[in-house]
Amino acid sequence: MSLNLDIKKSFKQLSDHNPVMVQRFGADPYAMVYGGRVYVYMTLDDPAQELDENGEVKENSYSMIDKISVISSDDLVNWTDHGTVYAAGEQGAANWGKNSWAPAAAWKNIDGKDRFFLYFANSGNGIAVLSADSPVGPFTDPIGGPLVSRDTPTCAEVTWLFDPAVLMDEDGSSYIYFGGGVPSEDKAWDPGTARVAKLGADMISLEGDPRPIENVSYLFEDSGINKIGGRYFYSYCSNFSMSKEAEEEKGFEQGEIVTMVSGDPMGPFEMAAPVLKNPGHFFGLGGNNHHCMFEFGGGYYIAYHSRILEESMGLLKGYRCTGIDRLELDGDSAPAKSVMTRKGAEQVKALDPYKETKAVTMSNATGIATRQFGETAEKYGSGDMIVTDIHSGSWVSVSGADFVDAGAKGIEVRVKSVDADADSDAEGGSVSGRIGSAGQNGLSGKIHICLDSPEAEPVCSVIIGTCIVEELTEITGSFDRAVTGKHDVYFVFEGEGFEFYSWKFLS
């Protein structure tokens, strides 16, 4: 028997993997692979910070951005929400800066310990660096000021001192690429505003002065760097001053991601191939084009942003979301033309449903929010998270769970009641709103476990009783029949007043 609930619709189709995150917006994606997972760091576009006097969402001005979203996955489809790094502004680690645009991330073993570094732009005026002992933080500011500023040699004349990318080479050396902007109309064909510098062994200093990257044709913004097949590929977004004649001559369009190639990480670079047209070419809604190419699980992928999430919401105010698709390589192992799709990347491995999985690991969701969970995450913005703002008909899902032949006979969930002050802790930027009234006693609900559709007959309904407290509580449910094979799993909620922390199926 199907559920007697008004099942909410997601902002993306059940079969689509893009955007990779629907509970928040995320722009300017940058991927870092570590420990068998890919971590994606994104500029947090937050409509809640861009309201007019009537409380209506304004056009995205980018001027309020001071947080960086973090998600990770080991299969490119199910993404764990790690919250938002409080990067800049009064609450941020780099509180000397106002903004946190276009992050880049890298890790390095230093003195026998893996360390993690998060680089971002203070609007168009310099590059900051934060460090941590974990890919998800807590991140702190190790130098108390900019890594790159207009006082840095060769950088005063860079129009937009932003959009960093980092290369970790096999010999242990590391490099940072940044810059962009068009100084004047007559410089559009060769702005001269791209820079590369060698990073110090500590990853928080420069070893020598930055060098101009020469002959970057029609540069706009968005530095990228990859080493593929022994060659270094610098990539960028072309500017919007190209004539039709220039597009035909150069072989790429305005607002397109273009590559250059070199045998040396600091150049000189020569023009190579365009790899990704503007989002407007694929989805009809254009804008700036920002990318990151990365290798994962034996394949190459490209992350980018578009406006398909806000389009589904009916917002159309310039708030961006991240997608990931396969990156095509040509016969010489060079990046070639790729596409943006709603379908997205294929799942590279099955999900193990018998391991405890955080409820904020999702392939899709609707009608929920996430918030920081625990003192560390609440202080620094990133870390442990919990699903909140639960209402009847809302749900979260994971894709490609393999129950194998033996099958699952039950499930264990960890839940808690809503804290009385949880509404003040709801994760900023949620596209589904914030918690309303909280701390109500006597409320109960259910988590319905449905396979392959949120409207399917549940295999089990876990009753969230009135005995749950503000600490995590384990509740189990049994199945009438074993669940076998591979399925998408939907956790459909009924009632409210509780939060969802984790789950695991029982064999």
464: which strand partners?
445
Residues 46, 141, 221, 499: which is the catalytic one? Answer: 221
Catalytic site includes residue 310: no
Alpha helices (H) along 130-268: 244-250
Residues 28, 50, 81, 256: which is the catalytic one? Answer: 28
For residue 186, give both structure tokens: 């007559």
Q: Tell me whether strands 395-402 and 364-366 are parallel, antiparallel or unpaired.
A: antiparallel
Coil, strand or helix at 400: strand
- How far is Cα 54 from Cα 56, in angstroms, rounded to an integer? 6
Strand order in the sheet with 364-366: 364-366, 395-402, 486-495, 445-451, 460-464
**Preceding omega of 335 cis (within 30 degrees of 0):** no
Catalytic site includes residue 356: no
For residue 406, give both structure tokens: 């033996």
Alpha helices (H) along 369-413: 375-380
For residue 319, give both structure tokens: 């708030």
> Is there a contact between 298 and 345 (Cβ–Cβ < 8 Å)?
no
Coil, strand or helix at 166: strand
CB-hemisphere CA count at 13 Å for 186?
A: 0
> Is there a contact between 58 and 403 (Cβ–Cβ < 8 Å)?
no
Question: What residues are annotated to the active site?
Answer: 28, 221
